[in-house]
Amino acid sequence: MLWFFFCVAVLILGYFIYGKIIEKIFVINPKRQTPAYQVNDGVDYMPMSKTKIWLIQLLNIAGTGPIFGPILGALYGPVAMLWIVIGCIFAGAVHDYFCGMLSIRHGGATMPYLAGKFLGRPVKVFINTLALVLLLLVGVVFVASPAQLMGTITMDVFGASQGALVLGDAEAVHHSVEAGGIKVWGMDKATVVALWTAIIFAYYILATLLPVDKIIGRIYPLFGALLLFMSVGMVYGLVVSHFSATDPIEFFRTINADGEGLTWAKFTQNFQVKGDVPIWPLLFLTISCGALSGFHATQTPLMARCTENESEGRFIFYGAMITEGVIALVWCMVGLAFYENPQALQDAISAGSPSKVVYDSSLHFLGFIGGIFAILGVIVLPITSGDTAFRAARLQIAEIFNVDQRSLPKRLLIAVPLFVLGYFISTIDFSVLWRYFTWANQMTAMVMLWTAAGYLYRYHKFHWVASLPAWFITTVCATYLFYNKIGFGLDYQLSVYLGLATTIVCIVLFFTMLKPLGTRDEEAYINN
């Protein structure tokens, strides 16, 4: 238990200490007018309070990644929590902060524009393509997971009475539904899931087209309440179960079969290569959104366009990422506590993906009603990321082709082809989509960190805060590409060496090709 709460405390301290350091390196100008006031088009650019923006930012960036990823990462043991803490403070939050602040400095520009400005046009062309692919993958992937969970909830809640079962007996209800034979409104589970998929997709269309304050700005506070309930509720459930006199569940029970506590041997027991999922580099791709995620670079400019003052940047961008890290720690802890051993956790994931772990653990710790609300809190995360993924894709395409987005017909001109393409992508096998999504996600993070490093280096600022994490994730992405079947499928040892070599080449190009832009960032002194 102490290790878990220690990790949470370190994350919070990271916001106040390292976040302040990052803010000082960037150098904010509270007097500078932000794009929310410069443009204010009533659609995508408009001032909002920092609390509302922080909440929307958190919901935008926190999809199923900080839940499913840490659950999968729990298979590697407690070291997964260490990566969440270190990655979040020194890489993920730094990534989000610089993306948000640089976007504010450049009129609410998207990440590809920023990459082109500080790294060159070839990088801009590359990341434009990669980011659009990532956004489409996110939109599609984040339809499937919430639809599956909503389908399960619908069958369990409304199917219980038909099966003459008591709602309080959560396990009996769920098993009865899974066994088959129970229908809701004449529909089996597959049909219910398909219906929820259509409903969620329809919501995405509306959220993509309407002004940001019409849907996103109004319903996200309700979603945020569910999110907070889910996070606090699961921690409450873990603590209460830990002290239960009848059926105690120890923290780290999954790896603590001998009852001797969290020893160093247990901490490192899964460091070795496990079949085709070696801890290097797979851990750092498995746990992405809870530690470092390139998807955030596609979402952060959306809120940069609504930020009222540069002084709010640390709270909104760095702070939202720290909060997401806490969520990731909670679900990693669930993965390490709910099951009796690693094999049981693996079997649960294999039987029903991480969504089964979410469903079963929520019902166990919080009961049927509380568990349903906790699951709804999980569901809103991919939905609130999926809708803004399509919205970000629309805005990125509009920026590329210089299409004004004030009028609805022009928004439809971009949005309709996007959704048609998204539909065809959704017909591809989910497991294949997820593998490509994971790699594209971290590749986008890599480019954004190099962009932040380029900005700092070219203005003679302390670039190492972005350079070092950029080097690290470059090595991860390159090694994965050389080793994994979706890439070149090379020998593992060779892939590690090639990954290191790729990073060295990138470092050499960075220091030899980038030239200084001046002694200071003149954009920082506008309106001063």
Q: For residue range 362-386, what is the model confidence (pLDDT) as tens digits?
A: 888 888 777 777 777 777 777 777 7
Mean pLDDT comparison of 65-69, 267-271, 381-385, highest-scoring range: 65-69
18, 89 contact by CB (below 8 A):
yes
Reduced 3-state DSSP string for 288-342:
CCCCCCCHHHHHHHHHHCCCCCHHHHHHHHHHHHHHHHHHHHHHHHHHHHCCCCH
Residue 50 has pLDDT above 50, yes or no: yes
pLDDT at 505: 97
Give the model's pLDDT for residue 511: 96
At 29, the amino acid letter reads N
Which range is least confidently modeled, 287-291, 331-335, 417-421, 517-521? 417-421
- Percent over 90 (pLDDT), the chain: 37
Q: Where are the beta strands (DSSP E) in 122-254?
A: none
Question: Under the phi-then-psi rule, with left for phi > 0, alpha for psi from -120 to 50, and beta for the rest, what region is 454?
Answer: alpha
Instruction: Give the CA distances from residue 240 to residues 235, 249, 364, 366, 393, in Å, rounded to whole numbers and listed in that order.
Output: 9, 9, 12, 10, 43
pLDDT 10s digits, 86-143: 999 999 999 999 999 999 999 999 899 999 999 998 898 888 888 888 888 777 777 7
pLDDT digits (tens, 9 = 90+) for 171-218: 555 555 555 556 777 787 788 888 888 888 888 788 777 775 666 666
Rounded CA-CA distance 199/259 in Å is 47
Query: Domain map of the chain by residue range?
Result: 2-525
Mean pLDDT check: name the lowest of 26-30, 35-39, 397-401, 488-492.
397-401
Give the per-residue pLDDT at 172: 56
Least confident span in 116-125, 197-206, 438-447, 457-466: 197-206
pLDDT of 443 above 80: yes
DSSP, collapsed to helix, strand or coil, labels residue 184 as strand
Q: Over 90: is that where the pLDDT of 272 sits? A: no
Give the pLDDT band (50/70/90) at residue 275.
low
168, pLDDT greater than 50: no
Mean pLDDT of 434-463: 91
Residue 271: its pLDDT value, please?
62
**Radius of gyration (C-alpha) of the chain in whole angstroms:** 23
Which superfamily does 2-525 belong to?
Answer: Amino acid/polyamine transporter I (1.20.1740.10)
pLDDT, residue 166, reads 44
What is the pTM for the complete model shown?
0.86
Residue 423 to residues 139, 198, 289, 408, 411: CA-CA distances in angstroms? Answer: 10, 11, 24, 22, 18
